[in-house]
Chain A
């Protein structure tokens, strides 16, 4: 006896992505993540100002603009310690051949930025170079 009812189901359309594309996407994804794991920090630091700093002593003239210097502040950002530049208004003291001595405006333990390869803004992240 023939089948009296229709038991054939419509074939379920599955998401038919050919396996090749999946492999390509996988390799691309993991390759990018691996690349970024090693290089992301360097890429990030390339865009930051590189600075030199010193504690106390004589500050060169070009580190002071409009009675303002930048000091180094370490803060925890995104789970890590990062260095930032913070602007401080100062009053200059004695003037010597190399630069100025700071009379007031900064604390004794602050590190003052003496050189920077880019223009600094208040609160910007910086990278310290030797």
Chain B
């Protein structure tokens, strides 16, 4: 009986797993294959020469620098901002939550129109950063307030007995108790910082943005149009390895702080 039930469960899973295999896993493996051959037609195995060529490319280094800057600066500011904001929103009983959730759901194309109007003559990459913060504050606030709501309130009671002031109460109690959620929020923001490419592309409405906003996805996109598959594949593999490392790092960090 158990085995029949098990088999039925596995059969349930089949459409989903099959689709993911065909459309995500197999393409990924093919891409790994493309990154180690030198030409579509000759298909000689060249080992790591594609990777070395990519890493030495100055545009790749520029793109990598911009992407890293976006992750470090953008995500840090976003997490700090949303933690502070959700502390105030939750513990202060303020009603502004819908205003922050709304940007998350609005389609990006609609927003990029007005963003282009407002920031017509911006020289730095500031509009992209602002767009990133504007869009992702909502999901961070949702996660953080949900976690605050699930927190054990008796610790506050104990702290009140000890006579802790409000700011210190939050720094020493709320934030340490919610570190797993904060790590998850950081991870989610890092993933969303890769997705900001769509907004950035719509904002500059071209495939060649100014140098300060040229991120990895632009690099890969342009090579796709140039049909330069080898460079594209090696850059994509490097990017995915980078993401996998970040995910594993966040997993381990979250396990350490979970109790």
User: Interface of A with B (CB < 8 Å)?
Assistant: 4-5, 7, 9-10, 12-15
Chain A contact residues: over half helix, strand or loop, or mixed? loop
Asked if A15 and B98 sit within 8 Å, CB to CB, the answer is: yes
Whether the pair B95, A5 counts as a contact (CB closer than 8 A) is no
Interface size on B, residues (CB 8 A): 8
Determine if A5 and B97 form an interchain contact, defined as CB atoms under 8 angstroms apart: no
Q: State A108–B100 Cα separation when bound (angstroms).
A: 63
The 6 closest A-B pairs by CB, nearest first: A10-B93, A12-B95, A9-B93, A13-B95, A5-B157, A15-B98
Known pairs A5-B160, A9-B93 / 4 extra A-B pairs, C-beta < 8 Å: A5-B156, A7-B153, A12-B95, A15-B98
Residues of A within 8 A of B98 (CB): 14-15
In the docked arrangement, what's the CA distance between A14 and B98, Å? 8
Identity of the chain B residue whose Cβ is nearest the Cβ of A5 in the assembled complex: B157
CB pair A12–B97 under 8 Å, yes or no, is: yes
Interface string of B141-178 (1 = CB under 8 A from A): 00000000000010011001000000000000000000
Residues of A within 8 A of B160 (CB): 5
Given contacts A14-B98, A15-B98, contact A4 B157 (CB under 8 A): yes
* Chain A residues, CB < 8 A from B97: 12
Cα(A14)–Cα(B102), bound, Å: 13
Could you list some 12 contacts between A and B, CB below 8 A? A4-B157, A5-B156, A5-B157, A5-B160, A7-B153, A9-B93, A10-B93, A12-B95, A12-B97, A13-B95, A14-B98, A15-B98
Taking CB atoms and an 8 Å cut-off, the chain B residues in 68-108 that contact chain A are 93, 95, 97-98
Q: In the assembled complex, how far is the CB of residue A16 from the closest CB belonging to chain B, in whole angstroms?
A: 12
CB-nearest residue of chain B to A7: B153
The distance from the CB of B152 to the nearest CB of chain A, in whole angstroms, is 12
| Minimum Cβ distance to chain A for residue B41 (Å) | 37
In the complex, residue of chain A having the shortest beta-carbon distance to the beta carbon of B97: A12
Q: Which of chain B's residues have a CB closer than 8 A to the CB of A14?
A: 98
CA distance A5 to B97 in the complex (A): 25
CA distance A41 to B157 in the complex (A): 68
CA distance A14 to B156 in the complex (A): 28
In chain B between 114 and 165, which residues have their CB closer than 8 angstroms to a CB of chain A?
Answer: 153, 156-157, 160
> Complex Cα distance A13/B95, Å?
7
Complex contacts, A10 vs chain B, CB 8 Å = 93
A15–B96 alpha-carbon span in the complex (Å) = 11
Q: Report how far A6 CA is from B29 CA in the complex, Å.
A: 57
Q: How far is the CA of A20 from the CA of B72 in the complex (A)?
A: 46
Cα separation A13 to B93 with both chains bound (whole Å): 11
What's the least CB distance linking B91 to chain A, in Å?
A: 9
Distance to closest chain A CB from B126 (angstroms): 32
Q: What is the chain B residue whose CB lies nearest that of A9?
A: B93
Which residues of the partner chain A approach B156 to less than 8 Å between Cβ atoms?
5
Closest-by-CB residue of B relative to A15 is: B98
Instruction: Report the Cα distance A67→B93, complex, angstroms.
Output: 78
Within the complex, the shortest CB–CB distance from A1 to chain B, in Å, comes to 11
Q: Give the distance in Å from the alpha carbon of A54 to the alpha carbon of B104 in the complex.
A: 56
Nearest residue (CB) in A for B156 is A5
CB contacts (< 8 Å) of A7 on chain B: these are 153
| Complex interface: chain B residues within 8 A of A13 (CB) | 95
Least CB separation from B157: chain A residue: A5
